[in-house]
Amino acid sequence: MRRALLSACAVAVAVSIAPTAAAEDTVRSCIDASTKGQTLRQAGHLLAARQQMITCSQDACPAVVRSHCTRWLAELDNRIPSLVVRAQDAAGVDIVDARVTIDGKPGKLDGRAVQLDPGEHVVAVEGDRGRRDERVILVEGEASRLVMVRFGEASRLAPTASPAPPPERARRIPVGAWVLGGLGVAALGGATYFGLAANSQLSDLNASCSPHCTDAQTQPGRTDALVFDVLLGAGAAALGGALVWALAFPSTVEVTPVARGAMSTVTLRF
């Protein structure tokens, strides 16, 4: 009787301990899955991270862990990119009987999007028409990226000769415009000299005899002022004429490409 009682007690203890141990294992698995998921997500392995988030978002996981994993799972679903492979012949007709691989793994030409990790991927389509490889880079959040693989012979037409480039024209200022401009600058320089001289003489007259100066005293100043006015007008006119000449009647230098060199033509206007 005592042995039966002891056995019953042992069984009861074992039954009470078993659920506790199982619960602890579940909690530990949930925490491990959330930790691995975060690590994989930060490393860019979004698909593997998604599987871990699915594990730790189960009802058996603690509420705190489950809530975080559920939120992270939704974020991953928005970040995981995908692509759709489509193949056509030279006439634009869809090809459905070719073999498809994505990063060496079998795929299908069924129009459905395939989820992949962000980064570079190689899509290969092979069939009776040959093989075509396409390299693509998927960006996070890029959904249903269309990868079009076309088959067909390249054009055998001889390339058409490209038209000769038009001759290059360089505008040059005519020599006459340079000469006229130089004369204008010289005239303005002379005007500056006589203007300063007239102003100096006017100051002397104001200090000595003004307002009772004689004609003989004022004659040099009037002469310098007249020369100043003439040179100033002539210089301004010369510079204006040189500017108009350079803009309206420039000389040109044409450079025409020819075989093994170039031919230049110079047109000068004076």
Q: Answer whether residue 50 is part of any domain.
A: yes
* Structural domain boundaries enclosing 95: 82-150
Judge contact between 236 and 190, C-beta under 8 A: no
Tokens 């970040």 — which residue?
A: 79
**C-alpha–C-alpha distance, residues 30 and 57, integer Å:** 8
Radius of gyration over every alpha carbon of the chain, rounded to an integer in angstroms: 47
Q: Is the pLDDT of residue 15 over 50?
A: no
Q: Answer whether residue 8 is part of any domain.
A: no
For residues 115 and 40, membership in a common domain is answered with no
Q: Is 72 exposed, middle or buried (0-12, 13-18, 19+ CB in 10 A)?
A: buried
| 242/123: higher pLDDT | 123
Judge contact between 143 and 160, C-beta under 8 A: no
Condensed to tens digits (0 to 9), the pLDDT of residues 34-77 reads 899 999 999 999 999 999 999 999 999 999 899 999 999 999 99
Residue that finishes a domain, picked among 150, 176, 193: 150
| 131/18: higher pLDDT | 131
Residue in 225, 183, 178, 188 with CA at minimum distance from that of residue 205: 225
Percent of the chain with pLDDT strictly greater than 70: 73
Condensed to tens digits (0 to 9), the pLDDT of residues 156-179 reads 333 445 566 666 555 667 777 677
pTM assigned to the model? 0.48
Judge contact between 138 and 102, C-beta under 8 A: no
Residue that finishes a domain, picked among 150, 183, 199: 150
Tokens 């959330």 — which residue?
A: 34
Q: Answer whether residue 142 is part of any domain.
A: yes
Residue that finishes a domain, picked among 150, 176, 197: 150
Report the relative pairing of strands 168-172 and 251-258 from DSSP bridges.
antiparallel
**C-alpha–C-alpha distance, residues 134 and 121, integer Å:** 8
Q: Is the pLDDT of residue 10 over 60?
A: no
**C-alpha–C-alpha distance, residues 111 and 203, integer Å:** 98
**C-alpha–C-alpha distance, residues 197 and 188, integer Å:** 14
Structural domain count of the chain = 3
